[in-house]
Amino acid sequence: MNSNIRESKGDRIFLICNYVFLCILLIAVLYPLIYVLSASFSSTKAVTSGRVWLWPVDFSLTAYKEVFNYALIWKGYANSIFYTVVGTLINIALTIMAAYPLSRKDFKGKNLFMLLFVFTMIFNGGLIPTYLLVKDLGMLDTRWALIIPNAMSVFNVIITRTYFKTTIPDELLESAQLDGCTDMKFLTRIVLPLSGPIIAVIALFYAVGHWNEYFDALIYLRDQNLFPLQLILKNILAQSEIDPSMIGDIAMLQSRIGLTELLKYALIVVSSLPVLIIYPFVQRHFVKGVMIGSLKE
Amino acid sequence: MGTTKLQTSKLTSQTKVSVKKRFTFMKALKNHWQLYLLFCLPLLYVIVFKYVPMYGAIIAFKNFDPTLGIWGSPWVGLDNFIKFIHSYEFGRVLKNTLLLSLYHLIAGFPFPIILALSLNYVYRKRFKKFAQMITYAPHFISVVVIVGIILLFLSPRGPFSQVLSLFGVHNVDIMGEPSLFKSIYVWSDIWQNVGFGCIIYLAALTGVSPSLHEAAIIDGASILKRIWHIDIPGILPTTIILLILNMGSILDTGFQKVLLLQNSLNLSSSEVIDTFVYKVGLVAPIPQYSYAAAIGFFKAAIAFVLIIGANRLARKVGQESLW
């Protein structure tokens, strides 16, 4: 659109209002996050008495010291990294293994397979039968329970297939076949090197999914040593108050409650940091993913 | 006699076709065995983790006993469904599910569109990029953390209560108030997803022909007029399709978030079908697998019909659909 054309008065008012609107919106989105960050760096007293409203008050690192001393959290961190890395690698491998054959015109039976895949998107067995299956497979309370049942997402298979179909020209395959290239070689030597963008997109979708997942861990795991970070967080964040009968002294109780509150703020920061640090660099990939996802064929 | 002959010839031609089909399939298998080999594992995954649970869903019609297995358990017909429909929870759970999704759909739908229209008229590229980056960000925060933030903010000592106390309202337990639950759920979700939801509308807006805008500018149309007469009609098909398709998934409440936001005080307004299934089937001291599976099946079946219907409607309205 051409901004050189002189704007009329009405348009200028509109544009100013538009900027004001967007600024208000940005503040509304950012404020809670800034508040959490500032509160986590403030002193217990400042937070509980409500003196924090934008910047840290009585700067202190008490909350972070507490978090660092909490062994379970680091265990959870390590577990989450494991689930995210291993899970995502398996996800990518399976997704490509499914998407590539489905993208080929000469893959006989692809329509039937597609139907089989897409049907699972609109109908599923439900929570209980899936749980019973995982139980029957002996995966309860093992790391596999968080990886194998979520080894592939049909939605991601479909967007990957769309990408293959639209970016790999048929002529390329034909000429490779004339030169005696096998399907496997074609995939590894030609298709995959051309598919960097889509692999980045699905890897990110999968990785964020693994990192943020808590429910599967909640139903499949009992052993605390296997808990991912989100489940440990859930147990701390959703836990309401400390049992007053445990601590006799009122002043002591007050400070304990304040500290737990503070600890929660610090925990939110520590757990969201990896995603939010990487996010600005990979944001465009997510956007691309949404775009490809909205394409058909 | 004539008809029989005709039928026989038809039959033979059919067998011929199927033989031919099988022959080409064998040929394809031979030529492209590597593709089929690749496809084995994903296919196995889908069959085991998607279709076996569908088979497992038949426990909804049985009285499942883990020692007898899925097939060995005795059939009870529709008893589990009848039990659910006559139960005290049925009305409440169904009402909460529908109200929550409808509220979410209606309140949440306009915001991404407004944001996309607004971003579309930001001429400063840097500011636009910045605004997009900030508004998309909350989408990637985990549901546990989002709920953690909500609970901290709304706790009796949290910042929100402190603002309320300035107005003379003291010590309200916001999370324990059933009438507020749905609003908390919906508005926090809008906060989290407005940016990400607008991506698709921004894409639709780039599809609006610039020549329309040029012509309108020459004719002296203001920006508001252009939004009303060019942009909105331009993204209307996308909007309608998305709206219809969202209607199809109306029973899908953000189950994980609802579960985390629930407490014993707001349960009367926060218990939805999915959380109820979870409690009956997995949390209860004596898990009622069959009963829970029946409730889950009840939901999945209705959802299935809704999605198919929505897709039909979408195809009719905009010649566009999911499949």
Q: What is the DSSP string of B198-267?
A: HHHHHHHHHTS-HHHHHHHHHTT--HHHHIIIIIHHHHHHHHHHHHHHHHHTTT---HHHHHHH--TTTH
| Confidence tier at B175 by pLDDT (50, 70, 90) | confident
pLDDT, average across residues A58-80: 84
| Confidence tier at A206 by pLDDT (50, 70, 90) | very high
Q: What pLDDT sits at residue B320?
A: 58
- Residue B62: strand, helix, or coil: strand
State the count of interchain CB pairs (< 8 A) between A and B.
265
Substitution target from A128, A218, A257, A283 for chain B, most B beta carbons within 10 A: A128
Please answer yes or no on whether B145 and A53 come within 8 Å at the CB atom. no
Distance from CA of A206 to the nearest CA of B (A): 12
Highest mean pLDDT among A98-102, A170-174, B130-134: A98-102
Q: Is residue B9 predicted with pLDDT exceeding 60? A: no
| Confidence tier at B17 by pLDDT (50, 70, 90) | low
Find all residues with CB under 8 Å of A42, minimum gap 6, and list them: A51, A52, A56, A57, A58, A59, A60, A262
Q: What pLDDT sits at residue B321?
A: 57
| Confidence tier at A1 by pLDDT (50, 70, 90) | very low
* Chain B neighbors of A184, CB-CB under 8 A: 34, 38
pLDDT, average across residues B297-301: 89
Q: What are the φ/ψ torsions at residue B62 (nearest 5 degrees)?
A: -125, 175
The CATH code belonging to domain A64-297 is 1.10.3720.10
CA pair distance B48, A147, nearest whole angstrom: 14
Q: A260 versus B109: which is more confidently predicted?
A: B109
* Predicted confidence (pLDDT) per residue in A21-41, tens digit: 999 999 999 988 888 888 888
Please answer yes or no on whether B54 and A125 come within 8 Å at the CB atom. yes
* Percent residues over pLDDT 90 in chain A: 29
Kindly report the average pLDDT of chain B as a whole number: 83
Find all residues with CB under 8 Å of B139, minimum gap 6, and list them: B192, B193, B195, B196
* Percent residues over pLDDT 90 in chain B: 15
* Predicted confidence (pLDDT) per residue in A219-273, tens digit: 999 988 999 999 988 888 776 544 445 445 666 666 666 777 788 888 888 888 8
Distance from CA of B1 to the nearest CA of A (A): 38
pLDDT, average across residues A127-155: 91
Domains of chain B: 89-318 (1.10.3720.10)
Q: A270 versus A283: which is more confidently predicted?
A: A270
Find all residues with CB under 8 Å of A189, minimum gap 6, and list them: A181
Substitution target from B47, B68, B119, B140 for chain A, most A beta carbons within 10 A: B140
Please answer yes or no on whether A275 and B118 come within 8 Å at the CB atom. no
What is the longest distance spanned by two Cα atoms in chain B? 96
